[in-house]
């Protein structure tokens, strides 16, 4: 009888947290779609399950508790799981596959295999989401109907601080916007380690700017490669 009472109590608490107090929301389009729940008492606060899709494929999923991410969040690329991050423990549950990175050896950056590279929470998906929050398609490039890829590098040091942001290639019209975005975006990096020691690494990424993806000049896609 006591066990039954406990189970009913837990079920009641769970219902209050993720059932009666919440409302399901779906927002976006065929390119980017979000599905989540919010508190009925304050629809600005996410509470419960969250999922994000790109072109119909899952990109990330997890749980919110009164606007705070909790538990294990999963991040995907082309439908394949690339990272699981535990927000309760503040740690990655699975390691990246690629072992080759540019590591600082007190003189220069050399290519080396390491145990755990610096990683953005959410992997490429998390980085792309943080960039997309503040980056804008440059007016000069849009007026020229200009598309292109911008290659850049940044350094994540032993304290997970970002520095030495450098634009390596790509149309000049995009350079300033990319550098300003990387400078002002949310820093959610996890420090790299090798043999249990913290390391300083240089990472390379590509931002792709594309126009007309949904039939109009007002439509654009900015993504990370």
pLDDT at residue 221 in the model:
64
Of 183, 184, 174, residue with least CA distance to 138 = 174
Q: Tell me how long the chain is.
A: 225
CA distances from 213 to 38, 110, 166, 210 (A): 30, 39, 28, 7
The string of DSSP codes covering the chain is: -HHHHHHHHHHHHHHIIIIITEEEEEEE-SSEEEEEEEESS-TTSEEEEEEEEETTEEEEEEEEETTEEEEEEEEEETTEEEEEEETTTTEESS--S--EEEEE-SSSEEEEE-SB--EETTHHHHHHHHHHHH----HHHHHTT--EEEEEEEEE-TTS-EEEEEEEES-HHHHHHHHHHHHHS---EE-EEETTEEE-EEEEEEEEEEE-TTSSTT-EEEEE-
Q: Are 131 and 225 in contact (CB under 8 A)?
A: no
pLDDT at residue 194 in the model:
87
pLDDT by residue for the chain (225 residues), tens digit each?
Answer: 544 444 444 444 444 444 458 899 999 887 789 999 999 889 889 999 999 998 888 889 999 999 999 999 988 866 767 778 889 988 877 655 445 678 898 889 888 888 888 888 888 888 888 888 888 989 999 889 898 888 888 999 999 999 999 998 889 999 999 999 999 998 899 998 888 899 999 988 888 888 865 555 455 666 666
Residue 140 in tokens: 């000069």
Please give the radius of gyration of the chain, using alpha carbons only, rounded to the nearest integer. 21
């Amino acid at each position: 009888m006591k066990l039954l009472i406990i189970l009913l109590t837990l079920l009641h608490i769970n219902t209050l947290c993720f059932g009666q107090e919440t409302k399901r929301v779906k927002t976006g389009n065929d390119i980017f779609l979000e599905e989540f729940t919010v508190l009925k008492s304050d629809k600005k606060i996410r509470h419960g399950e969250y999922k994000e899709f790109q072109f119909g494929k899952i990109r990330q999923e997890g749980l919110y508790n009164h606007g705070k991410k909790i538990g294990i969040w999963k991040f995907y690329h082309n439908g394949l799981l690339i990272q699981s991050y535990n927000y309760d423990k503040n740690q990655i549950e699975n390691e990246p596959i690629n072992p080759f990175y540019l590591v600082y050896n007190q003189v220069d950056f050399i290519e080396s295999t390491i145990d755990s590279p610096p990683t953005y929470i959410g992997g490429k998906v998390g980085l792309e989401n943080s960039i997309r929050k503040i980056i804008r398609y440059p007016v000069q490039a849009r007026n020229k109907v200009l598309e292109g890829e911008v290659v850049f590098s940044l350094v994540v040091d032993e304290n997970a601080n970002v520095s030495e942001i450098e634009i390596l290639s790509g149309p000049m019209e995009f350079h300033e916007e990319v550098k300003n975005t990387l400078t002002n975006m949310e820093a959610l990096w996890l420090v790299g380690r090798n043999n249990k020691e913290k390391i300083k690494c240089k990472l390379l990424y590509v931002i792709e700017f594309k126009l007309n993806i949904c039939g109009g000049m007002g439509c654009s896609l900015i993504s990370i490669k």
